Structure 1
Amino acid sequence: MRYILLVIVLAAGVFLLGLWQHWSAWPWQEVPRRYNPFAPLHVADPPSPITRLKRERIAGDPQACRTTLEQAQQAGEVVYRSVGSPEIGDCQLQDAVRIHSTGVEFNNSFLASCPLAVAWLRFEQHHLQPAARKLFDAPVSRVNHYGSFACRNIYNRSDARRSRHATADALDLAGLQLDNGTRITVRHDWQQDDRRSRFLHQIRDGACHEFSTVLGPDYNAAHADHFHLAVGGYSVCR
Structure 2
Amino acid sequence: MHDNQPQPPRRSSITRVVLARLILALALGLAVASGLIRAGFLDIPNRFNPFTPLRVADDVSWLTRWKLSRLEGNRGQCLAVLDGSPVAHRAVPDRASEDGCGLSNAVEVSRSSVGLSGSFTATCPLTVAWALFERHVLLPAARDHLGQEVVRVVHFGTYACRNINHRAGGRRSEHATANAIDIAGFVLADGRQITVRSYWSGGDERREAFLRALRDGACRFFDVVLSPDYNEAHHDHFHFDMGSYRACR
Q: TM-score range by the shorter chain?
A: 0.7 to 0.9
In structure 2, what is the equivalent of residue 61 of structure 1?
74
In structure 1, what is the equivalent of residue 216 of structure 2?
205
In structure 2, what is the equivalent of residue 135 of structure 1?
145
Q: CA deviation at 1:185?
A: 0.4
Alignment gaps of 5+ in structure 1: 1-11
Q: CA deviation at 1:16?
A: 5.3
1:29–1:129 distance in 2 versus 1, CA, 3 Å: farther
**Aligned partners of 2:63 and 2:179: how far apart in 1?**
22
Check if 1:86 corresponds to 2:95.
Answer: yes
Q: Which amino acid aligns with 1:230?
A: D
Q: Decide which of 236, 241, 248 is 1:225's aligned counterpart.
A: 236
Q: Decide which of 152, 157, 174 is 1:164's aligned counterpart.
A: 174
- Fraction of identical pairs, as percent: 46
Residue pair 2:222, 2:242 contacting (<8 A) in 1 also: yes
Check if 1:48 corresponds to 2:77.
Answer: no
What CA RMSD, in Å, does the superposition of the two structures yield over aligned residues?
Answer: 2.1
Q: CA deviation at 1:181?
A: 1.6
Q: CA deviation at 1:36?
A: 0.8
Q: CA deviation at 1:13?
A: 9.6
Q: CA deviation at 1:19?
A: 4.8
Answer with 27-36 or 103-112: which moved more: 27-36
Cα deviation 1:98-137 (Å, max 9, x = unaligned): 1100011111111110001100010000000000011222
Q: Which amino acid aligns with 1:107?
A: S
**Aligned partners of 2:41 and 2:136: how far apart in 1?**
24
1:82–1:221 distance in 2 versus 1, CA, 3 Å: same
Residue pair 1:169, 1:232 contacting (<8 A) in 2 also: yes
Q: CA deviation at 1:180?
A: 1.6
Q: CA deviation at 1:95?
A: 1.8
Under a length normalisation based on structure 1, what TM-score does the superposition of the two structures give? 0.87
Cα deviation 1:157-190 (Å, max 9, x = unaligned): 2331111001111000001111122210001100
Cα deviation 1:22-42 (Å, max 9, x = unaligned): 432245752111111111001
1:162–1:142 distance in 2 versus 1, CA, 3 Å: same
Residue pair 1:149, 1:169 contacting (<8 A) in 2 also: yes
In structure 2, what is the equivalent of residue 113 of structure 1?
123
Check if 1:33 corresponds to 2:46.
Answer: yes
Residue pair 2:226, 2:247 contacting (<8 A) in 1 also: yes
